[in-house]
Amino acid sequence: MINTKEASRLDVSRHATRLFLEKGVTATSADDIAAAAGISRRTFWRYFRTKESSVEPLFNHSSFRFVSQMSEWKLDTTIEAFIHGYFALATRPERDVSDDVLCALLIARLPMEPGLREAWLMANHKVQAEMAKVVARRARRHSEEFDVQLCAATIIAAMRTVDEHITDAVINQKKVMTMESINDFLARAIRTASTLPICDAIKD
């Protein structure tokens, strides 16, 4: 559960994302974002170090939610079975779906809006510690161990690459991809990136 300040920053982030998608980063000012979100300019700068960093809370929210779902990966389940099974059955609140769509549209704009890439990379870096907990549980190791941290880092990098590839293909190139093919892609990327043997079923 996020606190009041985090919820407020997330709300501002949604407004910033919509404006960046509509007008572009250069044509959008911090004042525009503050006005759209109903906050003062001073509050905006108290929340964010740059106007581009205002999209970080949305990226963070989506990324942390995904890794939280990964924490439900049972030991006796392969990565392929988990990804296909969980995401086929999972029901998500409308707000989460809307946030994920905004994130996907923003990720697809990264090649045209390089100023946003820092926020995207920061979000991926922040979620790495949570992924290390997932890896540690399956590897029966401590989350602070180097090998666990390395595995978590490579998995996060793989997931970031998948996100960028798929959003570019579907949104920019207008290619058709089924949910099954996307899940295949993600599971294959995680298996390939895992530097520890965590992707097969593990006996408890």
* Residue ranges of domains in the chain, CATH in brackets: 55-193 (1.10.357.10)
**Helical H segments across the chain, by residue range:** 4-23, 30-37, 41-47, 56-70, 79-89, 94-108, 117-139, 146-167, 179-193
Q: What is the pLDDT of residue 90?
A: 59
Burial of 95 from C-beta contacts in 10 A (0-12 / 13-18 / 19+): exposed
Q: What is the pLDDT of residue 91?
A: 65
CA 83 vs. chain centroid, Å, equals 16
Q: pLDDT tens for residues 54-103? A: 999 999 998 888 888 899 999 999 999 999 887 765 567 788 889 999 99
Q: What is the pLDDT of residue 170?
A: 95
Q: What is the pLDDT of residue 93?
A: 75
Q: What is the pLDDT of residue 97?
A: 86
Low-confidence ranges of the chain (pLDDT < 50): none
Q: What is the pLDDT of residue 89?
A: 57
Amino acid at 187: A
Q: What is the pLDDT of residue 5?
A: 84
| Degrees to nearest 5, angle at CA 159 with 140 and 48 | 105
Full-model pTM: 0.89
